[in-house]
Every structure is written in structure tokens, then in C-alpha cells.
């Protein structure tokens, strides 16, 4: 596992990735989490985008709040960026595998490839699967929670909505606790 980087004032910085097919809402999830903002319409990510956010999260080992800085990488899903994508996937502490609940046939089924890339580049990263766009999906999830966790070697699964903010904060907090608890 990549070493935790200690920053000033006992902060720790962790590299988090959001990966998945185009138009699953990776950018919108990040904007919702970092800025509590949502913009309608598709925003293409060219290569990678990067935002950071400092937060206090309860350390599951000590029960005390720990100040963390999440370095959040929004990795482009388009196939045209495949040749250099591996450069961005290295040394991640946590990864969100994101699919679109309203288009599971086109996005969920392709998470296996993303998981394989993560396994190769950041084998010790904590993994959470996110089914996004629950606000427009019909409430159906392509598999049961345990099946999703097993299939993608993930530690948690959330359904979210970047549009409404539903469970976005909770997913990032859970990631921080998973990383701190190792």
C-alpha cells in the first residue's frame, strides 16, 4: 500500500480515483462532494481532472477525528485515453468504481476492465463501487450487494445521486474510514 503522506498539522493526504465509463457521473460526483454543486449536462473529462478537499473523519482505530486531504482524480472514461490512463491509476489509496444505474448494461458490465486496471496499477487500494444516478434509475440494481462486492473485490457498495446529493458524502466518508482503518 502506498505510504500515507503526512502533511502539516498532522494531516494526511490520500489519492482517490473515480473511474468508470463515460457519462456515469464521475465529474458530477466530485463536484457534488467538493463544492456541493451539480450542473445539468455532460461535461467531458480530457485525460484527468484533479480536485482536493480537506475533511475531518473519525478514525475507526482511535475514535478520534483525523484531518485528511483527499486528492481526488477524475479519470476520463473515453477509450481514446486508454494508452496513458495507467499513469494516473498508480499509487492510489482508494478507488471508486462508478457505473450508471440507468444504463447498467453499458456501464456496470464494463467495470471488470476498470477493476483489472486498478489491480495492476494500485493493487492495495481500497475499492468502493458506486451505482450513480439513482434519481433517474428505476430503482433496480444489476446484482445483490454481496455479488457486487465479490465480483469487484470491493469493500462497500453505494447507490448515489450526484444531482440530489444522496449518499455522496457518505461514500467519501466511508472511503476515508476504510483507508484510516488499515
**One-character DSSP codes across 19-50:** E-STTSSHHHHHHHHHHS---SS-----SEEE
pLDDT at position 8: 39
Provide mean pLDDT across the span 132-146.
Answer: 92
- Percent helix, strand, coil in the chain, to 5, is 30, 30, 40
**Residue matched to cell numbers 478520534:** 64
Q: State the DSSP H helix or E strand holding residue 74, giving kind and residue range, or none if neither.
A: strand 65-75
pLDDT at position 151: 98
Apex 69 CA angle, 63 and 88, nearest 5: 125
Burial 9-41 (b: 16+ CB within 10 A, else e): eeebebbbbbbbbbbbbbbbbbbbbeeeebeee
pLDDT at position 17: 96
pLDDT at position 79: 52
Domain ranges for the chain:
5-180
The radius of gyration computed from the CA coordinates of the chain, to the nearest angstrom, equals 15
**In the CATH scheme, what is the code of domain 5-180?**
3.40.50.300
pLDDT at position 124: 97
Per-residue pLDDT at 164 exceeds 60? yes
pLDDT at position 149: 98
Residue 79 buriedness (CB in 10 A; 0-12 / 13-18 / 19+): exposed
Alpha helices in 90-167 (DSSP H): 104-107, 111-121, 145-151
Cite the beta strand spans of 76-142 per DSSP E. Answer: 94-100, 126-132
Read off the pLDDT of residues 38-88 as tens digits, 9 standing for 90 and up. 988 766 554 566 899 999 999 999 999 999 999 999 887 545 445 555 678
Per-residue pLDDT at 171 exceeds 70? yes
pTM attached to this predicted model:
0.89
The distance in angstroms from the start CA to the end CA of the chain is 10
Read off the pLDDT of residues 8-43 as tens digits, 9 standing for 90 and up. 345 799 999 999 999 999 999 999 999 999 988 766
Q: What residues contact 155, with CB distance under 8 A and at least 6 apart?
A: 126, 127, 128, 149, 178
Backbone angle region of 49, left / alpha / beta, with phi > 0 → left and psi within -120 to 50 → alpha = beta
Read off the pLDDT of residues 82-138 as tens digits, 9 standing for 90 and up. 555 567 899 999 999 999 999 999 999 999 999 999 999 999 999 999 999 999 997
Amino acid at each position: 500500500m502506498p505510504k500515507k503522506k503526512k502533511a502539516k498539522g498532522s494531516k494526511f493526504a490520500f489519492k482517490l480515483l473515480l473511474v468508470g465509463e463515460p457519462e456515469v457521473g464521475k465529474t458530477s460526483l466530485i463536484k457534488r462532494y467538493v463544492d456541493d454543486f451539480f450542473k445539468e449536462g455532460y461535461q467531458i473529462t480530457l485525460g484527468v481532472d484533479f480536485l482536493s478537499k480537506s475533511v475531518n473523519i473519525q478514525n475507526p482505530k482511535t475514535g478520534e477525528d483525523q484531518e485528511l486531504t483527499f486528492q481526488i482524480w477524475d479519470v476520463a472514461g473515453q477509450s481514446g485515453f486508454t494508452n496513458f490512463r495507467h499513469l494516473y491509476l498508480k499509487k492510489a489509496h482508494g478507488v471508486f468504481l462508478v457505473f450508471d444505474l440507468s444504463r447498467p448494461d453499458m456501464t456496470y458490465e464494463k467495470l471488470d476492465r476498470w477493476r483489472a486496471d486498478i489491480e495492476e496499477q494500485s493493487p492495495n487500494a481500497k475499492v468502493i463501487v458506486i451505482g450513480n444516478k439513482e434519481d433517474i434509475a428505476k430503482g433496480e440494481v444489476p446484482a445483490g450487494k454481496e455479488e457486487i462486492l465479490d465480483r469487484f473485490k470491493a469493500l462497500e457498495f453505494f447507490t448515489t445521486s450526484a444531482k440530489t446529493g444522496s449518499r455522496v458524502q457518505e461514500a467519501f466518508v466511508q472511503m476515508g474510514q476504510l483507508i484510516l482503518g488499515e
